Amino acid sequence: MKTRAIAFLFAALCMAPVAANAQITLATLVGTVQTPVTTFYNYPAIAPNATLDVTFVATNTSTTPTAITKLALSGIGFLIVNTSTLPIVIEPGKSITFFVRFTGGPVGTYQANLQVNSAIIGLQGSVVQAATLSVASPCTGPDASGAISFGRVPQTQTATCTFTVANPYTQALLVAPITLTGSAFKTVQASSASIPAGQSLTFTVIFTATAATAYSGSLTVGVQTFSLSGTGFLNPLPAPTLSFGATSLQSGKQYGLTAILPSPASTTVNGTIVMSFTPASSAVKDDTAVQFFAASSRVLPFTVAQESTALLFNGQSSAGFATGTTAGTITFKLDAGAVGFSGNAVATWTIDAAPVSLTAATANRGSTSLILSITGLDNTYSMGPMTFTFFDRNGKQLGSTISADFTPDFQAFYRGQNGGVIATGSAFQLILSFPATGDLTTVGSMNVQITNVAGVTSASSIGFP
């Protein structure tokens, strides 16, 4: 047998959308409001390299349980963020939610089709030119989620930060609107500005902590909205102990984070926990699937009651989070609002590099070739060397083991996801074709070994139908 060059399965051209079937209806979810979607959904415009998640709800409107057997996308720029394994059975009148992420590449319009069973919904997103925003000390940010912090300020005091809005393009850029919300934040900046090519404008935002509490606001600059936060503080809480019920973190998993104070709180305190992620690979900027999955965010509120030691996250004893598909370091930082912490309220855990994890491997026969389809994740972004062994229906090896190195192909695939910046994780799908002659029905199964820097993964006895 001979191998052909690796063939990645790229999204097909968008099909014309059709109405949802009678059993499953689709809607978008914003807060608690559902808006039905029957044929098409248009995402709000975003900046290059930005991401936008939209929550979709699939509801079973029939009187019998219905299984979701297909949840797929075809097109460019969109990704289903969903860790559940198909099929998913939905009871009558019940729903499931999942997220579809639009990731901005070059300026332009992007289209895709979302398919849930036989329901196909057209998706469209647009990427427009956008200014860049930076802030000066004592502020920090914006981080990957667009959050800017004014830090902790003594009650009745102020913090003043300088904001710079730059035009990175070769022509003038109209930035509109420029708006600020939040009673604790003030500025004198105009509501819009035309910035010459390569130039910038600066303005100040003043945060006033009139009370010992947490404050929030937002700054909108064109199509981008940045969240603002600041805290007036009094007496701190003791630093909590954070744990997640396991000795180590693994990619592609979900865990529950708990936080316990060493002594009871003297007063009821509300605050937030913020998670951040630093990839182990220098080729990767971020993995946006690393987040608290209940909120599809990296920020979650918490409460600790007076005389209690347990922090409650959205009223729950633990905060569920997903580890994404990239090796690196996850950091959790707690902010106790006006009260603060007396010690280090930060915990860091490492997601170790791991051999390739396979989620599916199937084999099929063509008229003149044998076809292997594999999906999985490589949290090291280093996979490439593979070996393939074929067997007849009695388990006897056919020919010699085939070896091939697809490292350049995988590197090009990952670099090409987002203009060289990987932000959507290491999940992949590939198809390999093995030209063959003779009676292909005698081929019964095959074994595959895949190597990355962390080790070797084997998939044995992949059967041909």
pLDDT at 15 over 70: no
pLDDT at 10 over 90: no
pLDDT at 340 over 90: no
Q: How far is 382 from 451, CA to CA, in rounded Å?
A: 8
What was the pLDDT predicted at 205?
A: 97
Task: For residue 383, give the nearest of 359, 352, 404 by alpha carbon.
Answer: 404
Return the C-alpha torsion angle 150, 153, 158, 161, nearest 10.
-20
User: For residue 408, with 0-12 CB atoms within 10 Å meaning exposed, 13-18 middle and 19 or more buried, which class applies?
Assistant: exposed
Would you say domain 132-233 falls under CATH 3.20.130.10?
no
State the pLDDT confidence band at 423, using cuts at 50, 70 and 90.
low
pLDDT in tens, 372-397: 999 999 999 999 999 999 999 999 99
Domain ranges of the chain: 9-127, 132-233, 241-351, 357-463
What was the pLDDT predicted at 23?
A: 86
Exposed e or buried b per residue across 26-43, where buried means at least 16 C-beta atoms within 10 angstroms of its C-beta = bbbeeeeebeebeeebeb
Strand partners, 52: 102
Hey, CA dihedral for 168, 174, 177, 182, is it positive or negative? positive
Backbone angles phi, psi at 44, to 5 degrees: -60, 150
Q: Which fold has domain 357-463?
A: Immunoglobulin-like (2.60.40)
What was the pLDDT predicted at 16?
A: 34
Q: How far is 6 from 448, CA to CA, in rounded Å?
A: 14
Residue 224 CB partners (closer than 8 Å, separation 6+) = 46, 47, 50, 130, 131, 133, 146
pLDDT in tens, 53-67: 999 999 999 999 999
- For the structural domain made of 241-351, what CATH number should be given? 2.60.40
The per-residue pLDDT of the chain, averaged, comes to 89
Distance, C-alpha 193 to centroid of its chain: 32
Distance, C-alpha 390 to centroid of its chain: 37
- State the pTM of this model: 0.52
User: Looking at domain 9-127, which of 3.40.190.10, 3.40.50.720, 2.60.40.10, 3.40.50.2030 is its CATH number?
Assistant: 2.60.40.10
Comparing 421 with 74, the larger pLDDT belongs to: 74
pLDDT at 209 over 50: yes
pLDDT in tens, 320-333: 999 999 999 999 99
pLDDT at 4 over 50: no
pLDDT at 37 over 50: yes
pLDDT in tens, 139-191: 999 998 899 999 989 878 899 999 999 999 999 999 999 999 999 999 988 88
State the pLDDT confidence band at 22, using cuts at 50, 70 and 90.
low
Q: Do domains 132-233 and 357-463 have the same CATH topology?
A: yes
Residue showing tokens 């559940």: 84
pLDDT in tens, 71-111: 999 999 999 987 678 899 999 999 999 999 999 899 999 99
Beta strands 40-42 and 328-335: pairing type?
Answer: unpaired
Residue 32 CB partners (closer than 8 Å, separation 6+) = none
State the pLDDT confidence band at 133, using cuts at 50, 70 and 90.
very high
